[in-house]
Chain A
Amino acid sequence: MRIDKDLVAASATPLVLGILADGELYGYAILKRVSELSGGRMEWTDGMLYPLLHRLERLGYLSASWGTSEIGRRRKHYAISPAGRDALMQRQEQWTVVADALRQVWQSTQQPPAAVEGWA
């Protein structure tokens, strides 16, 4: 299943913040986690993750530090900041509202005839 581009863009920030809320990670590991969480159904253009991470860093939601990987390669790690946790909490509330509204819409579209007849 291919997920709509706008939906991916809208969910990227809360997903990244949520994943980093569990602990500091580097870019590739974040993407692996996204793929794991969605059962491989959410595919991001890998390169687009980095401008997003930099934007979140500039907004103060993340802090970044250079470290080295197991085999000694330069690697940039990202950790969530207190401001990032606040932002994450706000996003969670927003998404809960959206998800809740959507769920109700899905339910009502599943049995619409009865409801319509009731009104008629």
Chain B
Amino acid sequence: MMATHAELEARISDWRGYVLRRQAISAGDVDELEDHLRDQVADLQATGLDDEEAFLIGIKRLGNLDAVSREFAREHSERLWKQLVLVPEASQGASPWPWRELSVVLALAVGAGVAVKAGLTWFDADTFARNLALLVVPFVGAYFVWKRRLTVRQTAALLGPLVVLAVVANVYPFDQGGSTDVLVALHAPVVMWLLAGLAYVGLRWRSDGRRMDFVRFTGELVIYVALLALGGGVLVGLTVAVMQLVGTDAEPLVARWVLPFAVPGAVVVAAWLVEAKKDVVENIAPVLTRIFTPLTIVMLLAVLGALAAAGGLVEVDRDLLILMDAILVLVVGLLLYSISARDPLAPPGLFDALQLALVAAALAVDVVMLAAMVTRIAELGSSPNKVAALGLNLLLLVHLGRAAWLTGGFVRRRRAFGTLERWQTRYLPVYALWAAVVVLAFPPLFRFV
């Protein structure tokens, strides 16, 4: 009797190891399934079955492991993140063209480089700034169009807005050095990034989970681009230094030929790296958010203090307001990234309280900014810059306000983390829509000044 039970234990332990290899099923889930299996086996034994039979029937009742694992993956897409790409690669094994994806990526990277170089050669500085996103992002988008196997019709749906954007950026008669010119240059990338996101999610834009994946993708992309830039910078710097010692000035060459190709190329390659090698950076994401959340709180408090010390907010100059908007956008980015990296089932902890503090500090900064802006507009009248900044600050106010409310509810265990997550993913398109309004409507509204 003892011996047969030992055999049952061995089989359960084998099964456990086998299930644990599924990335979508965590160790806690396996504990839960094992508890279930053991109950089932005990009940079956009570009806007179032996260990072997009871085990086999118990396993069968649990269901096809592939299907169950897929169901777990659907529910826990943050675990699926690891698995998404690695599974097809492993199952394809000997792909007939192992270099195919790499060659597509390299071709697109070179394409982006050529586009940027052409833009630099033919456009003046302002036109180039308006077109920069149009020259780079379509190549990232094209990679996902290829990767997600979008149909011709779906691709055309993405190309439509792209063409509209290109026409607006180049046909509107902007005043030389006017503010609408700068506004378009700042907002066009946001609209472009939304289009890239649509390609990334394979046009399944209604899905909150896919939207969260895109947020994750964007965060990892920034990290990869930073890593590539760091490595590339060191390499180029050393090369230029050596050239200088032997009497050749390589700097003009680097500025005119290396950077225009290297920078857009790095963005495309980084997009591919994030897609293919997710799990390399994956473990860094939660660590990074934990480091930068407290640091950002300190920064926001310092900024608030400085604003208070400066006294009269009307004198706060325009550049400062723009800079503060950049800081707030950064905070929202950090917030999104932390939420995307968090395990949605973990109970609220210290870090969530910190996140609440971050959102509260950002809200305070936003309210101060809004007050300053409304005063400026009341005293000096409106301008495209002020209206664009006011609009962005109002959007941020709504986003942060609701996020603070939901985070507060989650920390006090009144709400599930899912509602907080959904609020972020549902609200994101609003930013892109606002950016589209700024790009399309602001120049004619303000007569292209």
Contacts and interface: CB of A to CB of B under 8 A. Distances in A.
Contacts of B67: 45, 47-48
B63 A60 contact: no
B417 interface: yes
A74 interface: yes
A95 interface: no
A26 B35 contact: yes
Interface stretch (A51-59, A98-106, A109-117): A51-59
Interface in A35-73: 45-48, 50-51, 54-55, 57-60, 64, 69, 73
B35 A74 contact: yes
A53 B418 CA distance: 14
B35 A75 contact: yes
Contacts of A64: 345
B76 interface: yes
A119 to B, nearest CB: 44
B305 to A, nearest CB: 38
B68 interface: yes
Contacts of A59: 416, 418
Interface residue range, chain A: 20 to 34
A74 B16 CA distance: 15
A48 B68 contact: yes
B419 A47 contact: no
Interface string A68-97: 010001111000000100000000000000
A12 to B, nearest CB: 12
Interface in B113-162: none
B175 interface: no
A44 to B, nearest CB: 9
Interface in B34-73: 35-36, 38-40, 61-65, 67-68, 71-72
Contacts of B68: 45, 47-48, 50-51
B277 interface: no
A27 interface: yes
Contacts of A58: 75, 344-345, 416-418
A74 B345 contact: no
A48 B61 CA distance: 10
Interface string B388-400: 0000000000000
Nearest to A64: B345
Interface stretch (B25-33, B82-90, B191-199, B353-361): B25-33
Contacts of B447: none
Most buried by B among A26, A47, A54, A69: A47
A28 B61 CA distance: 12
A45 B415 CA distance: 30
B32 A27 contact: yes
Nearest to B70: A51
A84 B417 CA distance: 15
The winner among B32, B344, B417 for most chain A CB atoms within 10 A is B32
A46 B416 contact: no
B74 interface: yes
A62 to B, nearest CB: 9
A54 B345 CA distance: 8
Given A47-B63, A51-B72, A54-B76, A60 B419 contact: yes
Contacts of A50: 29, 32-33, 36, 68, 72
B397 to A, nearest CB: 26
Contacts of A45: 61-64, 67-68
Interface in A1-57: 26-28, 31, 45-48, 50-51, 54-55, 57
Interface string B342-381: 0011000000000000000000000000000000000000
B35 A27 contact: yes
Contact of A60 (B33, B74, B415): B415
B35 A76 contact: yes
A97 B29 CA distance: 36
A47 B35 contact: no
A60 B416 CA distance: 5
Contacts of B415: 60
B71 A28 contact: no
A64 B75 CA distance: 16
Nearest to A45: B63
Contacts of A26: 35
Given A45-B62, A51-B68, A73 B416 contact: no
Contacts of B345: 54, 57-58, 64
21 contacts: A27-B35, A28-B40, A45-B63, A46-B40, A46-B61, A47-B71, A48-B68, A50-B36, A50-B68, A51-B68, A51-B74, A54-B76, A57-B416, A58-B418, A59-B416, A59-B418, A73-B35, A75-B32, A75-B35, A76-B32, A83-B416
Interface of B: 28-29, 31-33, 35-36, 38-40, 61-65, 67-68, 71-72, 74-76, 344-345, 415-419
Q: 7 shortest A-B CB distances, which residue pairs?
A: A60-B416, A45-B63, A47-B68, A47-B63, A51-B71, A28-B39, A47-B62
